[in-house]
Structure 1
């Protein structure tokens, strides 16, 4: 009986410990995922900065080529060519801002994913604590069985019987009457 109780207690302890470990592992996994999202956001920022630099160089080359063509044609850089160059410069700036805006959107999304991942890790820890508590309560309540209680079986054996049979004639207790 004692061995079964100890086995039940050990099983409960394993169940409780397992639930807590599971929660911690889920949290670690969520933290690693969050870190990966943050690294992706940082990589996207670096990629966008590189892409903006490339676009800026491309725009500078186009502006230089446009000025050289205007100068080679013998037209002064005033009036219409100047307006074209200015429009090209504005479009180039708009392209750079578009790259930056797209990158910022992706970074925000990745950082939000990181925050969600961390939150789900914290939720997993909380859930594991409740699961461990539930396992502990159900395990401990399963250890106590009133029908197998040593006090209840001893009490049943000490109750006086109404008659005892010796040989072929029953002996009756004086309080039992003539039944």
Structure 2
């Protein structure tokens, strides 16, 4: 009976520890996935910014060509319009960059939270295993079968004979 109880306790402890480790592994995997998404977001943003720059360069070139074809000189009002368009283009690029950085930060935060959750699960599994160990061992212990210290190893009659002398032996 004691062996089965001990085996059950060992299995319970091992199961609690394995569960915590599996949860930690899943959390680490999720964290890596978030980090990969953040990296993909950065690459996507860089491509989008490149496309936007190219689009703005084409628009600026078209505006200069139209101004030149109309016979208007490139000073005064047409220059100011081109400069305003360039400034707006930079604002658009910064907006793309900013929103991408926000998404990357969010994904990196989620990765950190996932890793923290995994560490918490591993720690909780250690406490759960300890609790299962104590609970299991307490079920194995039977105070009626335990060795008591300080008592006599002899039967009550023999103990009485040694302590007070037993006259029935002579």
TM category (shorter chain) comes to 0.7 to 0.9
Q: Give the Cα separation in 2 of the matches to 1:159 and 1:11.
A: 39
Asked whether 1:19 is paired with 2:20, we answer: no
Count residues in correspondence. 152
User: TM-score normalized by structure 1?
Assistant: 0.81
| Structure ranking higher on relative contact order (CA contacts 8 Å, 6+ apart) | 2
Q: Hey, what does 1:61 align to over in structure 2?
A: 58
Structure showing greater radius of gyration is 1
Larger fraction in strand: 1
Output one character per residue of 1:98-144: Cα deviation in whole Å (capped at 9) or x when no partner. Answer: 00000000000000100000011000010000000000000000001
Q: Give the Cα separation in 2 of the matches to 1:18 and 1:58.
A: 59
Structure 2: segments with no counterpart, 5+ residues: 149-154, 158-170
Structure 1: segments with no counterpart, 5+ residues: 153-157, 161-179
Match of 2:121 among 120, 124, 130: 124
Asked whether 1:5 is paired with 2:7, we answer: no
Q: Give the Cα separation in 2 of the matches to 1:111 and 1:58.
A: 31
Q: Which portions of structure 1, spanning 4 or more consecutive aligned residues, are displaced by more than 4 angstroms? A: none
Q: Give the Cα separation in 1 of the matches to 2:36 and 2:118.
A: 18
Match of 1:139 among 121, 136, 139: 136
User: TM-score normalized by structure 2?
Assistant: 0.86
